[in-house]
Amino acid sequence: MKNKTNCGLLEDGFYGTSTVGERGQVVIPAEAREQLGIHPGDKLMVMKHPAHPGVMLFKIESAREFIDEFLKTLDRAEKAEEGKA
């Protein structure tokens, strides 16, 4: 049974473990690369996790698409609020 607080997000996003090499390199598990469409040469954004000691990786184009959609939603919300005034 999946935990109600994370709705299965942790289980669905777990791909295994990876060891940091001497030069700081980390191997992304094949299953993660396949499911997320990560290919050799792709650029990844590396960020510190906001709440826990760890890092998060994002494909730059995916992050940009998310931000673009978020900004469109924000614009719609602002226009809706202006219409109420």
pLDDT of residue 13: 83
49/84 same-domain check: yes
Q: Are residues 22 and 52 in the same domain?
A: no
35 and 55 housed in the same domain: no
Residue 30 sits in the same domain as residue 65 = no
Return the pLDDT at 69: 92
Q: Are 35 and 51 in contact (CB under 8 A)?
A: no
Q: Do residues 43 and 60 lie in contact, with contact meaning Cβ atoms separated by under 8 Å?
A: yes
What pLDDT was estimated at residue 83? 85
Tell me the three-class secondary structure of the chain, residue by residue. Answer: CCCCCCCCHHHHCCCCCCCCCCCCCCCCCHHHHHHHCCCCCCCEEEEECCCCCCEEEEEHHHHHHHHHHHHHHHHHHHHHHHHHC
Same domain, 34 and 47: no
* Tens digits of pLDDT across the chain (85 residues): 444 455 555 677 889 999 999 999 999 999 999 999 999 999 999 999 889 999 989 999 888 998 999 999 999 999 998 888 6
Domain shared by 47 and 62, yes or no: yes
